[in-house]
A and B are shown apart, each in its own frame.
Chain A
């Protein structure tokens, strides 16, 4: 991990967007993190807003206790801002979903290994499922800016679950949208659309994928069949985010475990066994 660069920072909410489905996207002013973070990295966010410094030690912010991991979906070093997105799943995300501009949150980060690609892998296909598009938005923008040809294939359950799609228009060379019920884009699973795209469109130098476990297992299977280099960004429940609690174990093919927080969250597909 890039532990050398881990900092405890305060993120000031400058923008809070919400949708009726429990989706939220927060833009935070956190200059040090914004300057350091690379695509694929994440931050651990304390779910309780900070109070005035002189009262901070008096406030018990211990339920929920643990910070929550969030991929960075955008970083702007000039403005000193990062953005993260999530959906309400439990107590922690419900609190963060209620964040308001002007509130401050404690962050640890940036954490984890970023997406790393040789320059020669020019044509990239980003395959995202649901909220898994978050790190791909950041990666797509940066890799496109550095000369890669970036296409996106994003899949969602249904039209109202579509997030992050519009902004890909700014940098994506090809854009493919799928929903399981066909209410937006093509009807079907991203793994099925991916198989067809690889057959029809010809060569892709690397796939970058992020999404739910079942989707990632299917996508890595398709990539393996097509012999396309594939990087996956994994999401697991985490206690600490920096390698000491050993909670976020993911199986390696040899039966031992890797940690998503420090060995990942980005892995080469063959480094992890997603079927376990």
Chain B
């Protein structure tokens, strides 16, 4: 059998060699991982949330471990868009990595300015609008939980750049499908989900929240079933079904630790996936997910990974073949 076709088309010319990327905020600007493996073997690298001005981030403690996951409250620590364009993107671009720049602002005007500055920067393959960061006081999740404000933000960025626009959605809403429809209507080329779930952990001895800012974003395997279902919902809200693509591609993420987890997202409707917190535990995880998806395709005779997108929608159960000894057949219940 020929090698499975792992390539994915995320719209507006953004074609990835495979469906696996790093999630923003979990791989810095790629420098650390680039020392460990060839980043070109990933579909794309999504770099740390970038703002107009440098941000020093939130005071510590910034992270607390929770059952099968962690809460973070980093607060968009980054050197600012000028420094990112001048010093962070060029080495990745020279190396040939597909770079997606995650941007965050306080207002639609700030997102617009960030998008304007990135338009035409060599090596930038796409922009991810982070309208879902739970760890800042202004902008971020406020925009990502109001459909009109989200649409206005996407429209503002859309008007100043021809780069593909991915909108990263917050799961902290009543109906994520409505948010997806709003940003797609405003010109988003793709949506990525989920950002972290807002959460809190309390030090019972000291009787106060552990994180300095109190609230944080929950990530890790603990959120995976929640995230898979949100991808499932967005796929349907965007008109997707089994054998029928959604109006725009979905990038799924939330607690992916291995290829099996990534395939859950793809089968729910994601065209691509992002590995986040798992990179902290093992920096080679994203690479192993690429290899694992390829092995899965071979094992199941799948010629193109895009044929799997949304394949669990409808008719789930009745048509699932049983394969003895394979992980998918036995729920691992972790």
A residues bordering B, Cβ < 8 Å?
3-4, 6, 8, 46, 57-58, 60, 62-67, 91-92, 106, 108, 236-237, 239-240, 242-251, 255-257, 262, 276
What residues on A are CB-neighbors of B65 within 8 Å?
A: 64-66, 91-92
Is B50's CB within 8 Å of the partner chain A?
Answer: no
Q: Which of B11-19, B28-36, B111-119, B148-156 contacts A (4 or more CB under 8 A)?
A: B28-36
B59 contacts which chain A residues (CB < 8 A)?
Answer: 249, 251, 276
Shortest beta-carbon contacts, A-B, top 6: A60-B334, A247-B63, A240-B280, A63-B68, A244-B28, A239-B280
B255 to chain A, nearest CB (A): 9
Task: Kindly provide the distance from the CB of B246 to the nearest chain A CB, expressed in whole angstroms.
Answer: 30
Q: Are A245 and B63 in contact (CB-based, < 8 A)? A: yes
Partner of B33, one of A91, A244, A247, A262: A244
A3 & B281 in contact (Cβ 8 Å cutoff) = no
Q: Using CB atoms and an 8 Å cutoff, list the residues of chain B in contact with chain A.
A: 25-28, 31-33, 35-36, 56-57, 59-65, 67-70, 72, 74, 77, 220-221, 257-258, 277, 279-284, 327, 332, 334
B282 and A8: CB pair below 8 A? yes
Q: Is the CB of A247 within 8 A of B257?
A: no
Given A106-B282, A247-B63: 12 more A-B contacts, CB < 8 Å: A3-B36, A4-B35, A60-B221, A66-B65, A66-B281, A239-B280, A244-B26, A244-B28, A245-B26, A246-B77, A247-B74, A251-B59
Q: A115 to B313, alpha carbons, bound, how many Å? A: 56
In the complex the two chains form, what is the Cα distance from A29 to B10 in whole Å? 47
Secondary structure at chain B's binding surface: helix, strand, loop or mixed? loop
Question: Contacts A8-B282, A244-B28; is A65 near B62 (CB within 8 Å)?
Answer: no
> A245–B283 contact, CB under 8 A?
no
Please state if B60 and A255 are interface contacts (CB–CB under 8 Å): no
Name the distance in Å between B31's Cβ and chain A's nearest Cβ.
8
Give which listed residue, A3, A6, A237, A245, contacts B64 with CB less than 8 A: A237
Q: Is the CB of B327 within 8 A of A63?
A: no
In the complex, A147 Cα to B279 Cα: how many Å? Answer: 41
Given contacts A66-B70, A66-B281, A244-B280, contact A249 B257 (CB under 8 A): no
In the complex formed, the residue of A with least CB distance to B60 is A249
B45 to chain A, nearest CB (A): 11
Q: Can you give 9 A-B contacts (C-beta < 8 A)?
A: A6-B35, A63-B67, A65-B220, A66-B281, A240-B281, A244-B26, A244-B33, A246-B74, A247-B74
| Contact call A249/B57, Cβ cutoff below 8 A | yes
Instruction: Find out whether the CB atom of A62 lies under 8 angstroms from the CB atom of B334.
Output: yes
Contact: B63 with A57, CB < 8 Å? Answer: no
Q: Which residue of A lies closest to B212 (CB)?
A: A249
A65:B277 contact, CB within 8 angstroms: yes
Q: Which residue on A lies nearest to B26, using beta carbons? A: A244
- Nearest B residue to A66 via CB reads B65
Question: In the bound complex, how far is the Cα of B327 from the Cα of A58, in angstroms?
Answer: 7
Interface centre among A4, A239, A243 (most CB of B within 10 A): A239
A3 CB contacts on chain B under 8 angstroms: 32, 35-36
Q: Are A250 and B60 in contact (CB under 8 A)?
A: yes
Which of the listed residues B28, B62, B70, B281 has the most CB atoms from chain A within 10 Å of its own CB?
Answer: B281
Residues of B close to A67: CB separation below 8 A: 280-281
Give the residues in chain A near B57, CB-CB below 8 Å. 246, 249, 257
Q: Which residues of B contact A246 (CB under 8 A)?
A: 25, 28, 57, 62, 74, 77
Chain A residues near B63: list those with CB within 8 A.
237, 239, 245, 247
The interface residues of chain B lying within 8 Å CB-to-CB of A60 are 221, 332, 334
With a cutoff of 8 Å between Cβ atoms, the chain A residues found around residue B32 in the complex are 3, 242-244, 262
- In angstroms, Cα B279 to Cα A64, docked, is 15
A60: min CB distance to chain B, Å: 3
B257 and A257 contacting across the interface, CB-CB below 8 Å: no
Distance, CA A3 to CA B67, complexed state (A): 29
CA distance A240 to B74 in the complex (A): 14
B residues in contact with A250, CB < 8 Å: 60
* A109–B236 CA distance with the chains assembled, in angstroms: 44
B187 CB, min distance to chain A CBs, angstroms: 31
Chain A residue with the shortest CB-CB distance to B66:
A65
Q: From A6, A57, A237, A245, give the contact of B327 (CB < 8 A).
A: A57
Please indicate which of the listed interface residues A4, A58, A257 has the most CB atoms of chain B within 10 Å of its own CB. A257
Q: Whole-angstrom distance between the alpha carbons of A64 and B32 in the complex?
A: 24
Chain A residues with CB under 8 A of B279: 240, 244
| Cβ-defined contact, A65 with B56, below 8 A | no
Q: With A4-B35, A239-B280 in contact, is A247–B72 under 8 Å at CB?
A: yes
Query: Least Cβ distance of A168 to chain B in Å?
Result: 32
A91 vs B270: C-alpha distance in the bound complex, in angstroms?
35
Which residue on chain B has the smallest CB distance to residue A260?
B60
Bound together, the chains give a CA A251 to CA B70 distance in angstroms of 22
Nearest chain B CB to A213's CB is how many angstroms away? 11
Whether the Cβ atoms of A65 and B60 lie closer than 8 Å is: no
